[in-house]
Amino acid sequence: MLEYTLRRLGLMVLTLFGVSVAIFLLLRIVPGNIADILFDSAGLVDPAEKQKIIADLGLDQPLVTQYVRWIVGLAHGDLGYSYVSEKPVLDEILPRIPITARLAGLALLFAVCTGVPFGVISAVRQNTWLDYILRLFSLAFLSMPSFWLGLLVLMAFVNWFGILPIYDKAPQTWGALALMLGVPAATVGLRSSALIMRLTRSSMLEVLRQDYVRTARSKGLSEPAVTFIHALRNAVLPVITTIGIETAFLFGGLIVTETVFNIPGVARFLVEAIRWRDYPMVQNLVMFIAIIVVLVNLIVDLAYMFVDPRIRLRA
């Protein structure tokens, strides 16, 4: 088990190194110098100001030196300064992390708590009217773009209830807080829920046809025990993998959802930083999202050991 964990940790470090190099180089091979982009977007005309920007960004140094300087700063919590607010990048990012974390956590919780049970029900009730309805809704939610669904939800709330479920810094009641976060989380989590449901269904159908499931039934075990103890535990590995992958796609959906629902989270701030051409902010926000995605996938890999004893034995 220890060897398996160490291998996964080593793979995580190697992945983060590759991602950091990709982020660093991609932001420097875009057409035009980043200092020119900042210079032009700010409308500056003084060449001395441009040289100051180049010096502040360290663009007058070799690429290797720039990369090492950035990584050392990350390790020490020094992410540089924003060129829009003229504040430390860390001070801009930290207040937004809890907002995005709550939204992403609720969306993932909604996706798992609805996708897995409905997938099991659809598999157990295969080719019944309930199965057809669940499959129809899953296909519909997979086909809907999150930004379009978010706009529909906003219009529905305004039309039916006369309220707009957008972000409020100080919600007055628990109901307002649940509405403020629950509606966007459910909106962005519907696609993940539909995908998890379909994967759970297909995995359960494969497992329910195995000999050991028929043996469990022949021994007189109840149907819930056969379904949830014997079948679901052996069918859940692909679902766990999908949850880790969907976490990465979730951040892509949050960029749109936070914009539609006016939520001041990390994902929306990334869009604003790109629009402002805030180079240090973009670089560190993308790296932050990459770290979260890699950590989630590490947790998924470690969860395999507790779900499947065969992995513990091989490790």
For the residues of 19-65, what is the DSSP string, one character each? Answer: HHHHHHHHTTSSSS-HHHHHHHHHT---HHHHHHHHHHHTTTS-HHH
Q: Spell out the residues 6+ positions from residue 197 whose beta carbon is closer than 8 angstroms to its own.
A: 114, 115, 116, 118, 119, 122, 134, 138
Higher pLDDT, 138 or 247: 138
Report DSSP state, residue 126: T
pTM metric for this prediction: 0.79
Confidence check: pLDDT of 17 > 60: yes
* Structural domain spans, the chain: 12-94, 96-314
pLDDT digits (tens, 9 = 90+) for 283-304: 888 888 888 888 888 888 887 7
pLDDT digits (tens, 9 = 90+) for 118-140: 999 999 888 899 999 999 999 98
Task: Please state, in angstroms and rounded to a whole number, the distance separating the CA atoms of residues 189 and 173.
Answer: 24
Cα 136 from Cα 85, distance rounded (Å): 48
What are the structure tokens assigned to 308, written together? 């499947």
> In 3-state terms, the chain is what percent helix, strand and coil (to 5)?
80, 0, 20
| Four-way CATH pick for 96-314: 3.10.300.10, 3.40.1190.20, 1.10.3720.10, 3.40.50.80 | 1.10.3720.10
